[in-house]
């Protein structure tokens, strides 16, 4: 099958990583993949074998027309069997593309609980008929889009993201080397957060809560990720007198190692779509404390502690309990990992997508069997 994945960009982000991960999985299963990015530049390694076309769509009077013309030429030359767009800008662009090109069936995937305000929801609703199917990564997000009027109930289904379960797994040796590299002394408990330094991730709340934890053993908070709030959070850390125990690690490419090094993973977000970092944490056997952002309960079920958003006291109390318990027994770590294997393993998710593709394209039974 010839699969065209359309993305807003290829910079660092959960949705962008998912596009690239799906491309890698589809290629491994013997399919041809082209990634069409609306914006130039990459911060993510694209798998060998994937064709990448980068547009330079600008907010100018002629920018959209030029981008549509380039995309139409790609459709004509490469002749994909299916188009699969991810994120709001790519979704709306791909729907417009179906009006100016002879396109195969289009699937649009929303990744954020809040895809936009009333104008974007109106745009989604007015262009809905130009897509064969709309999906959301979480049940909370699906319900939110329906309630906002972006899509009708019978026109959207839930399809979760997936992770490489071989990359994210408990590894005692990796834990030891990662902690040594980070300068974590024996006996020190580590709280980890991974995410963009953006308002919706509520890192300021996390830092306030960490300052209130009550544990007998020393603890450190590590926050991995870059973003516009780096300076403000650095100032907050100093103001709270936490410079020796809270570290902003910046962007990292060793998340599995960090998750193994941690004694508890904490998510403090106000807004999420489907927080895949929680899936990654559970796959590594790491205990989780999280706020009740959309998608959190869907991931954790009974394998984590959920507290109200914007409640530093509740978050501090849950962190304190989790830190005292540590990573738990091998059986407890295995139970966390087992929670996510069947639902979020990348190979499982990729094959589910291929079944959707086959049902829309009328591929031969052999192609459908490949996707089963």
Question: Helix or strand or coil: residue 39?
Answer: coil
Range of the domain at 224: 172-343
Q: Which tens digit of pLDDT belongs to each residue from 133-167? A: 999 999 999 999 999 999 999 999 999 999 999 99
127 with 267, same domain: the answer is no
Stronger pLDDT, 161 or 14, i.e. the higher one = 161
On whether both 222 and 366 belong to a single domain, the answer is: no
Q: Is residue 168 a contact partner of residue 259, using CB atoms and an 8 Å limit?
A: yes
| Mean predicted confidence (pLDDT) in 240-254 | 95
Same domain, 186 and 214: yes
The domain tally of the chain equals 2
Please determine, for residue 257, whether its predicted confidence score (pLDDT) is greater than 50: yes
Does residue 101 sit in helix, strand or coil? Answer: coil
- Residue 186: inside a domain: yes
Residue at 101 is within a domain: yes
**Is residue 91 a part of any domain in this protein?**
yes
Residue 46 and residue 135 in one domain:
yes
One domain, residues 121 and 24: yes
**Do 190 and 241 lie in a common domain?**
yes
pLDDT score of 14? 80
224 and 208, same structural domain?
yes
pLDDT at 273: 82
Residues 141 and 258 in one domain: no
**pLDDT single digits (tens) 166-203:** 999 999 999 999 999 999 999 999 999 999 999 999 99
167 located within any domain? no
Report whether 298 contacts 141 (CB < 8 A).
no
**Same domain membership, residue 140 and residue 7:** yes
Q: Is the dihedral of CA 184, 190, 193, 194 positive or negative?
A: positive
CATH number at residue 281: 3.40.50.2000
């Amino acid at each position: 099958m010839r699969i065209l994945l359309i993305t807003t960009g290829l910079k660092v982000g959960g949705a962008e990583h998912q596009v690239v991960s799906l491309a890698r999985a589809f290629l491994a299963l013997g399919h041809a993949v082209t990634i069409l990015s609306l914006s130039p530049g990459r911060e993510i390694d694209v798998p060998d074998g994937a064709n990448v076309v980068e547009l330079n769509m600008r907010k100018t009077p002629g920018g959209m027309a030029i981008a549509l013309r380039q995309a139409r030429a790609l459709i004509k030359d490469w002749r994909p069997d299916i188009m699969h767009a991810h994120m709001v800008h790519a979704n709306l662009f791909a729907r417009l593309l179906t009006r100016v090109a002879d396109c195969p069936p289009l699937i649009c995937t929303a990744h954020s609980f809040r895809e936009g305000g009333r104008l974007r929801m109106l745009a989604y609703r007015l262009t809905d008929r130009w897509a064969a199917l709309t999906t959301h990564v979480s049940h909370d997000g699906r319900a939110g889009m329906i309630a906002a009027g972006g899509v009708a109930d019978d026109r959207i289904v839930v399809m979760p993201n997936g992770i490489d379960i071989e990359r994210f797994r408990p590894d005692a040796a990796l834990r030891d080397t990662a902690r040594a590299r980070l300068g974590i002394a024996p006996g020190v408990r580590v709280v980890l957060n991974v995410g963009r330094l953006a308002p919706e991730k509520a890192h300021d709340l996390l830092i306030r809560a960490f300052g209130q934890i009550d544990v007998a053993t020393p603890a450190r908070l590590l926050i991995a990720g870059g973003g516009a709030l780096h300076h403000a959070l650095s100032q907050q850390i100093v103001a709270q007198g936490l410079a020796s125990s809270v570290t902003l690690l910046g962007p990292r490419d060793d998340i599995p190692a960090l998750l193994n090094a941690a004694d508890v993973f904490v998510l403090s977000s106000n807004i999420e779509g489907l927080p895949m970092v929680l899936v990654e944490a559970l796959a590594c056997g790491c205990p989780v404390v999280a706020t009740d952002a959309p998608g959190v309960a869907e991931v954790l079920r009974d394998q984590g502690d959920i507290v109200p958003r914007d409640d530093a006291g509740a978050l501090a109390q849950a962190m304190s309990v989790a830190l005292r318990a540590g990573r738990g027994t091998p059986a407890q770590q295995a139970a966390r990992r087992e929670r996510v294997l069947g639902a979020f393993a990348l190979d499982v998710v990729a094959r589910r997508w291929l079944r959707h593709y086959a049902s829309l394209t009328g591929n031969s039974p052999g192609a459908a069997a490949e996707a089963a």
